[in-house]
Homo-oligomer: A and B are copies of this chain.
């Protein structure tokens, strides 16, 4: 294949699509869903709305793609963190990997879109597959690999839920804080969770 002077058309197209998604993420990050309009996204991406509606038939489709990317990021970060996690305590390791995902500022994007989907039926329909996949992945009864890590007894599952809900609560707190700044006590809570998990009756 001959060396091309410029990028091929499909490459630039994919790059534009990625730029639009990145712009949507940025806008969601610091303006929230309510103010993430088509023009807002396009201004950030440096294109007109023509470009946007060429790549996405709908705003809902753009948001779905955005949520998908954010979820993928969360998963990737968690996976990457898992390689460094404490191998002796499965739950402690899980806490670290999960917090690598939920504790990241980008999780605010997921919250924004997710919450918005409740109201907009079109958006909800578009987001449904992504959300459902995420929900299944986070439910020990439906995800055996997860159950293997966090345990299967009722107490284990309850503790797992506690960990998750606390993380989500802190992520929400960050999302509503001006500038999405982390609250002061996040690390304290995570440390406490690890400590509690170490002291739990053995499985």
Contact = CB atoms under 8 A, between A and B. Distances in A.
Nearest to A180: B118
A192 B119 contact: no
Given A120-B34, A169-B167, A115 B175 contact: yes
A119 B165 contact: no
Contacts of A161: 185, 188-189
Interface in A100-124: 111-112, 114-120
Contacts of A137: none
Contacts of A193: 162
A172 interface: yes
Q: How many copies of this chain does one complex carry?
A: 2
A50 interface: no
Nearest to A36: B119
Interface stretch (A13-21, A81-89, A150-158): A150-158
Contacts of A196: 196
Interface of A: 31-35, 111-112, 114-120, 154-155, 157-159, 161-162, 164-170, 172-173, 175-176, 178, 185, 188-189, 191-193, 196
